[in-house]
Chains A and B, each alone.
Chain A
């Protein structure tokens, strides 16, 4: 489907060029090789969890983070009403920076339950500033994501819990 739309776009482009719309394709930018790309390859090979594993890939399920949430227990069954509310909240408040299908301004929430504890997730939503100041993983995420600080969206604890329930459905 995506390919088809690309082809359509391309055709449109050709059509426009034919009609007089200018599409300049002289320069495709330049490349400035840095050792960075090489380094990343090496990092990927390291299986052990260390500081050199990018924060977004680290598993920190034992860390609860810093903030109002100290302990929560999840019901084994997923509550669909909460999921729906959480999905709606996520769409309005979060998708400007977090896309489910890809890494964007911030990391994708897909599979987050396998990497972070429920408490950590809720604390990050509820008080990102405190987390970035005091939580190691949050700090490293900020660096990994180009210093784009996570916005405090004034979400209530109940709403954060709904968003968490939604995240449980993002395997």
Chain B
């Protein structure tokens, strides 16, 4: 026994020695390369009660939502529902918000949200709205940056796979939506193998009304049947142009993995939208039948309406001389980014090792001197060498997206080699490269696609997470990394999980939004037709089998909280008005057996939820948001009598 014990002790001693030495080595390694050294920790640490420097709006991809984070802390502040129903607030379930998700295909409770872009004035972020695209059933949404709520959604006709969207021109004249999949325009029943030459790609220019941001489709450019992948506006000297990357110029309809990778070069399409505006002003373009929904939320009635529109103005680019040119770009370009000066158009051939940079000045000269290499369906193809500014020989593989800082540097993500590469505009030399974890897609620098980037932080959004966090079964949230880019070399300072699948993101300084963030909705501005402004407004009305309950809430009771005379077969609309006028005091409402979600009602707001009682009884409802010390007391009862019962309709509180 004693011998055994001694053995054990000796073993423990040796083991702990190994352990200590192991720890020491590991520690120094981490200090040299890792994100865990103390200076990195200081850079991302936002002390309790203190605020972040930047807002970051990350797309939620297939969640259909937009998530709001702080930089540099990586803390998530809010998930904004846009294209998906969201029981947390009742978005898409409440009667007021259901119209926002209406389309020509009916009510659609979901979409794939890809590319947020913040509104701009003179090429700089102005913080009024953020625009996002629904990729699957083509739509563009506008989110208010005062309320952080979705205010408007417009469907895009003649489009499919709304991917080269929702990018805005430098005075927010337009938000632009390009189709990824070309389709028959107008849609019709035809053989798939007759794609070539018959399918079309619609590039849609949506006007943005400057005061309220209301969107209206101004025109669609009906382009050849390529895949329009990503886009960015010209800025500064190139303002008035818009650039779209294309792939599948082979016009394949099957096994694109192989068949759309045949051509050595595809194109970046340069669209002179100012020229198209002139053409339309002179009576050009063709109004064609279409069917698309335009859904607008009114902040004073707290209610959205959906309108179907039955025509759209289309333009044929071959009929507008000087409006559209094609810039040959190697290897199925994905990202299409324009530097802050507007001089360089960067095309990232996703199957390439190099990054292709076109020069705007050279493009204009090539057009003037007619340096064309033929045409595609009547659209001039410019000579590659004549427009090329330079090539970044990166040594990486699979370049995707580029953002910029304010010092003449560009930062490009490489999906295949999992890294961010920093390079210099003009000299094309690579300055730095840092690994990402893993397989990075988009990246975002606040203001990094505007004339005024804020070059402190870079966020890399990855497609693969693997071992970055504690495992959570087969499905994991995607990882993102924050790099400090204030110095010559990038430094990885933080790693955080994101929600859904972030594609693009947009960021801006906190001071642009924080001071004007809405705290409450004013009761005296509430124009909801079913609002109960003050408890005197509370009532219950029957109209056949429809019952409207005008109910108000304040800490911590409902008025009325006892209702009788409801019958099986009724459709009961609870219109809840929150009478609070204090910041961050929402009340919730949920009814047992409701075939929809609860609603969360903000101070001064009115929201409606429907209940169709199926069984006689006395059924309770309650507040879902812990509102005060007496929150558990915030409840009520509805008496449901059999259909045909003569129980009188009555309501009360405190009686």
User: Could you list which residues of chain A lie within 8 angstroms of chain B, going by C-beta atoms?
Assistant: 12, 16, 19-21, 91-93, 95-97, 104-105, 146-149, 151-155
Contact for B645 among A20, A97, A154, CB less than 8 A: A20
B579 pairs with A96, CB closer than 8 A: yes
**Interface of chain B residues 549 through 591 with chain A (CB within 8 A):** 552, 554-557, 559, 579-582, 585
Query: Could you say which residues of chain A place their CB within 8 Å of the CB of B523?
Result: 92-93
Cβ-based interface call for B630 (8 A) = yes
Query: Could you say which residues of chain B place their CB within 8 Å of the CB of A153?
Result: 580-582
- Given A151-B555, A151-B582, A154-B582, the answer on whether A95 and B629 have CB atoms closer than 8 Å is no
A21 pairs with B646, CB closer than 8 A: yes
Cβ-based interface call for B641 (8 A) = yes
- Given A92-B524, A95-B535, the answer on whether A149 and B648 have CB atoms closer than 8 Å is no
* Docked pose: A170 CA to B98 CA in angstroms: 46
Query: Could you say which residues of chain A place their CB within 8 Å of the CB of B647?
Result: 16, 21
B580 pairs with A151, CB closer than 8 A: yes
Chain B CB count within 10 A is highest, among A92, A104, A147, A149, for: A92
Q: Enumerate 9 A-B pairs (CB-CB under 8 Å) in ascending A order.
A: A21-B645, A21-B647, A92-B579, A97-B554, A148-B629, A151-B554, A153-B580, A153-B582, A154-B520
- Given A21-B646, A93-B523, the answer on whether A148 and B534 have CB atoms closer than 8 Å is no
- Given A92-B533, A105-B557, the answer on whether A147 and B646 have CB atoms closer than 8 Å is no
B559 pairs with A96, CB closer than 8 A: yes
**Interface of chain B residues 628 through 655 with chain A (CB within 8 A):** 628-630, 641, 645-648, 654
Q: How many residues of B contact A (CB 8 A)?
A: 27
A96 pairs with B628, CB closer than 8 A: no
**Interface of chain B residues 36 through 72 with chain A (CB within 8 A):** none
- Given A12-B648, A95-B536, the answer on whether A147 and B582 have CB atoms closer than 8 Å is no
* Docked pose: A20 CA to B533 CA in angstroms: 37
Mask: chain B, 520-544; 1 = CB below 8 Å from A; 0 = not: 1001100000000111100000000
Main secondary structure of the interface of B (DSSP, over half): loop
B534 pairs with A96, CB closer than 8 A: yes
Besides the known contacts A93-B534, A151-B581, 10 further A-B residue pairs in the complex with CB atoms under 8 A apart: A12-B648, A21-B646, A21-B647, A91-B534, A92-B534, A147-B630, A151-B554, A152-B582, A153-B580, A154-B520
Query: Could you say which residues of chain B place their CB within 8 Å of the CB of A154?
Result: 520, 581-582
A16 pairs with B629, CB closer than 8 A: no
Residue of B nearest to A92 (CB): B534
A20 CB to nearest B CB, Å:
7
- Given A16-B648, A21-B641, the answer on whether A96 and B535 have CB atoms closer than 8 Å is yes
* Docked pose: A20 CA to B557 CA in angstroms: 32
A27 CB to nearest B CB, Å:
14
* Docked pose: A16 CA to B642 CA in angstroms: 13
A91 pairs with B536, CB closer than 8 A: yes
A149 pairs with B557, CB closer than 8 A: no
A149 pairs with B534, CB closer than 8 A: no
- Given A93-B523, A95-B534, the answer on whether A146 and B581 have CB atoms closer than 8 Å is no
A103 CB to nearest B CB, Å:
10
Query: Could you say which residues of chain B place their CB within 8 Å of the CB of A152?
Result: 581-582
Residue of B nearest to A18 (CB): B646
Residue of A nearest to B644 (CB): A20
Residue of A nearest to B645 (CB): A21
B554 pairs with A96, CB closer than 8 A: yes
B601 CB to nearest A CB, Å:
14
Query: Could you say which residues of chain A place their CB within 8 Å of the CB of B554?
Result: 96-97, 151
* Docked pose: A76 CA to B647 CA in angstroms: 53
Query: Could you say which residues of chain B place their CB within 8 Å of the CB of A12?
Result: 648
* Docked pose: A105 CA to B559 CA in angstroms: 12
A149 pairs with B628, CB closer than 8 A: yes
Query: Could you say which residues of chain A place their CB within 8 Å of the CB of B524?
Result: 92
**Interface of chain B residues 609 through 637 with chain A (CB within 8 A):** 628-630
A85 CB to nearest B CB, Å:
12
B101 CB to nearest A CB, Å:
32
* Docked pose: A93 CA to B524 CA in angstroms: 10
* Docked pose: A13 CA to B581 CA in angstroms: 39
A148 pairs with B628, CB closer than 8 A: yes
* Docked pose: A95 CA to B653 CA in angstroms: 12
* Docked pose: A95 CA to B582 CA in angstroms: 16
A104 pairs with B654, CB closer than 8 A: yes
* Docked pose: A152 CA to B583 CA in angstroms: 9
A106 CB to nearest B CB, Å:
11
List the 10 shortest-distance A-B pairs measured between CB atoms, nearest first.
A154-B581, A96-B554, A153-B581, A152-B582, A92-B534, A147-B629, A21-B647, A96-B535, A19-B646, A91-B534
* Docked pose: A93 CA to B136 CA in angstroms: 45
Residue of A nearest to B533 (CB): A92
A15 CB to nearest B CB, Å:
8
A96 pairs with B646, CB closer than 8 A: no
* Docked pose: A158 CA to B647 CA in angstroms: 47
Residue of A nearest to B630 (CB): A148
A152 CB to nearest B CB, Å:
4
Query: Could you say which residues of chain B place their CB within 8 Å of the CB of A91?
Result: 534, 536
**Interface of chain B residues 360 through 408 with chain A (CB within 8 A):** none
Residue of A nearest to B532 (CB): A96
* Docked pose: A104 CA to B491 CA in angstroms: 61
